[in-house]
Chains A and B, each alone.
Chain A
Amino acid sequence: MATLEELQARITRLDDIKQVEKLQRIYGYYLDCESVEVADFGVYRGKAGVKKFYLDLLGSKPPRVGELSIGMIMQGVVDIDPDGKTAKGRWYCMSIEAKPTISLHEGELRQLWGNGIYENEYVKENGKWLFKKVFYFLNFRTPYEDGWLKVPPPDAPPTNYAPYPSGIHLQPHYKHPITGK
């Protein structure tokens, strides 16, 4: 039979899983009013980076009628690390969105399906679980009308794709008309 101490450790682990699941789902419900996609935005480091991403980048636009960003957070597999202080979780997010055609700018609203996977890390501080790292891997974000398989497979990968602000410019095929260089 288990000792009281062993049972306490086992209950704490179960509690921890439920707390992390709740945290992740609450995050999803906050997204509904705070449009977020992480995969294509780059890495933001530290708590200052978190503020920069959610407040300055995503939260700085005035609300717009019709804009929608539902993130259904599903299928969590949460693992509490042996010391009970940190945890990892994998989740699916299925999103239903209405966003301007040009991200972060004005433009016609388009309806979108989105799907991606979270591999997140959590930390327990003063008895409460918090996010330590949010990583969102985007599977697709696609127009409602077209779906994820609209574009037929190309014959070869892009030969040169490095948009602004990469600093890489497509060079002209012609020589300088005066100097000939």
Chain B
Amino acid sequence: MNLEELEKRVTLMEDIQEIENLQRIYAYYFDLQRWEDIVDLFSDNAESVEIVDHGLFLGKEGVKKMYWDWIGKGIRSANQPWIQFIITQIGGVVDISPDGKTAWGRWQTWLCEAKPFGAFPKQEWLHGYYENKYVKENGKWLFSKLHWNNTFCSPFEDGWLKTPLMGLMNYHPTVKPDAPPTAFHPYPSGYHLPYHYRHPITGA
């Protein structure tokens, strides 16, 4: 193997490592309610962001609308008592495109949340899958597309069999998505978010 081939292989491993870190850092910022820092993890040319049933938000403007205006309630960094986001990132499968400039990643998430539903704080279990797209700009990996599909959002007390979905989150009085959600089919629909990768052995 010549030096050039070796460098390509090292770069590929570095890219995977950086993207894994990016995804995990995103989640730690989310849990800290640091919405401004999250927006800065997205490319200025970001394609879209879609989180559960909020709808599809396009471009960097859409990213700001999603995290600052909707989830952050207009606050770019918050520290609210009794609100808890713990969105653990598990089982990343990251694939770098052959040209090394874009990448895809699938992750699953296990969440322990507490947030208000109407007037009352509720504790919830959630699970979901990400299919995200990343782009390398000036040597750094950024999000270009983020899609989180929710498997269930269930009250701690009931579990997912009794109450698969605690309520819809698809309404905001002023913030409107650019399009309806592309996929929102919680348990027990049997829906699986399409995979970005082929079967590693059979190629199916």
Contacts and interface: CB of A to CB of B under 8 A. Distances in A.
A94 B110 contact: yes
A148 B81 CA distance: 13
8 contacts: A14-B10, A74-B89, A75-B28, A77-B28, A90-B28, A139-B84, A149-B114, A153-B121
A10 B114 CA distance: 41
B106 to A, nearest CB: 15
B74 to A, nearest CB: 23
A92 B86 contact: yes
B7 A2 contact: yes
Contacts of A94: 88, 110, 112
A1 interface: yes
Nearest to A78: B21
B157 A147 contact: yes
B204 interface: no
A147 B86 contact: no
Q: What is the size category of the interface that chain B forms with chain A?
A: 20 to 34
A147 B21 CA distance: 30
A7 B123 contact: no
Interface of B: 3-4, 6-7, 10, 13-14, 17, 21, 24-25, 27-28, 81-82, 84, 86, 88-90, 110, 112, 114, 121-123, 156-157
Given A7-B6, A149-B122, A149-B123, A14 B17 contact: yes
Contacts of B24: 75-77
A75 B88 contact: yes
B156 A149 contact: yes
B13 A14 contact: yes
B86 A75 contact: no
Contacts of A139: 84, 86
Contacts of A77: 21, 24-25, 28
A7 to B, nearest CB: 6
Nearest to B82: A153
B3 A7 contact: yes
Interface centre among A3, A10, A17, A75 (most CB of B within 10 A): A75
